[in-house]
Amino acid sequence: MKQLNYNHLQYFYTVAREGGVHRAAKKLHVTPQTISGQLSSMENYLGYQLFNRVDKRLVLNEMGQIAYAYAEDIFRLGAELGDVLSAQKAKGELNYVVGVLESVPKIFAYDLLHKSFSLEKQVKLTVREGDFSALLKEFAVNRLDLIISDRPIPPRMGVKGYSHLMAESGFTFYTSPLLPELDAENFPQCLNGYPVLMPGDNSVQKNLLLSWLESEGVSPKIIAEFDDTALMKMFGHEGHGGFFSPTMIEPFVMKQFPNLRMIGREQVVKDQFYAISPQRRVANPVTKQVIQEARKLSLAVPSMDV
């Protein structure tokens, strides 16, 4: 059987992504006639039509979707090969770019990442913060090697990657001595009307906590919402409102803010943390290290979850 022409595959792949011959031609800086000719050659080679015309767009048919899935894998592996060879060629330095959701506790991200500096190969670590949607877009175009997230990749998102569940934790509620005292034995009902700081809309934590409070018939007075949970803790420490934080980082919170009062723990509702990594033939050594550290941390979680 004659070997597949990879130029044909690239033209087909671009037409599928752009939705038409003219847009693909503009993208590849060739004439529409060239694109049409290459596409016809590929369809003749395969023995199938790959597109249906819908209005003015070319839409993949069933066989086209199969071909597109293979093309996507082929070009992804090609890009990965380039990355791997470039990394090997670099002077002993490995660039590693991580996206961390603002809602992920900073100490948790630190515990996962700091041992990357002890690897045999020198690592240049770049950490970017952002919301899930923005980080996932960066990940989809290979600008991130890893995302540390409070949720997995949603199904049918079209982004290829592995979502590794690293840890899960209940919540602890804290207040400052500057706030009125609470009856800890009456937790969480004691939070009715109490000033509370909440994570922002970009976090999974907010919906988890609000749903749980509603199920308990509790209506706190929400004073403020924060995408950055580290900033939320600072406001809580200064007496602007009580706040929830994952129980698994309880020792760190109490070390950082020893004057805080722990009012209660909720261990039915679980906050989850994921490492999202690319689908690669050759696993990145830093990603391996992160997953290994996550397993160690997850073993420690039950001892903190009281």
List where CATH 1.10.10.10 sits in the chain.
Answer: 6-85
What's the average model confidence in pLDDT over 20-37? 90
List where CATH 3.40.190.290 sits in the chain.
Answer: 93-306
Pair 150, 103: CB distance under 8 Å: yes
What's the average model confidence in pLDDT over 28-37? 90
Instruction: Note if the bond before 302 is cis, omega within 30 degrees.
Output: no
Q: Which runs of E-coded beta strand occur in 102-142?
A: 122-130
Q: Indicate whether 58 pLDDT > 60.
A: yes
Strand 195-199 to 242-246 pairing: parallel
For domain 6-85, give its CATH number from 1.10.10.10, 3.40.50.850, 3.40.50.150, 1.10.3720.10.
1.10.10.10
pLDDT tens sequence across 237-246: 999 999 999 9
pLDDT tens sequence across 99-140: 999 889 999 999 888 887 777 677 788 999 999 999 998 898
pLDDT at 278: 84
Helix, strand, or coil (residue 76): helix
pTM to 2 decimals?
0.68
**206 contacts: CB under 8 Å, gap ≥ 6:** 198, 199, 200, 225
Q: Which runs of E-coded beta strand occur in the chain?
A: 51-54, 57-60, 93-101, 122-130, 146-149, 162-175, 195-199, 221-226, 242-246, 261-277
pLDDT at 236: 98
CATH fold group of domain 93-306: D-Maltodextrin-Binding Protein; domain 2 (3.40.190)
* Closest listed residue to residue 235, CA positions, set 198, 191, 204, 209: 198
Place of tokens 């698994």: 248
Q: Please name every residue paired with 222 in a beta bridge, in sequence order, or none if there are none.
A: 196
